[in-house]
Structure 1
Amino acid sequence: MWDWCADNIFRGGMYGRMGGGLMMLFPILLIVLIFYFFDKKDKNKTIENVTPLEILKRRYARGEISKDEFEDTKKDLY
């Protein structure tokens, strides 16, 4: 009985196969995290480059503000 357990463990039986799967999972997880970090970084750049007038135009286009509010706020900005 003990001989079978020792042979199975030391020859890479159940534990070896599970460890191999985890070793493949690590690089995949690392690549996913790298892509997530760079994707999030790019989204933050686009938000910083938006001007107040562009935000105002988008709000007017979505119908959040009326034409009078748009014109008044536009005059205040410029």
Structure 2
Amino acid sequence: MGYGMGYGMGMGGGVLMWIVLLVIIGFVVYYFAKNKNANGSNSSQQVLGPDAMEIAKIRLAKGEISSEEFEDIKKSIL
């Protein structure tokens, strides 16, 4: 057996290994870049600001809604 005939030890095997490695790194970078704004979840939507329950509590405290309306909102959220 001459040079390059054994299990990727030659020039062709090394180049193929680097191409496969670069493709894998590319997929990993793409995956993390795509899911960067997901805050650790699989969802692609990001919640900005207070959640619905906090808004309802603030509105109740300001007197914009009554206790009954707050309870209705709470039931529909949970």
Q: What is the TM-score with the length of structure 2 in the denominator?
A: 0.47
Q: What is the TM-score with the length of structure 1 in the denominator?
A: 0.47
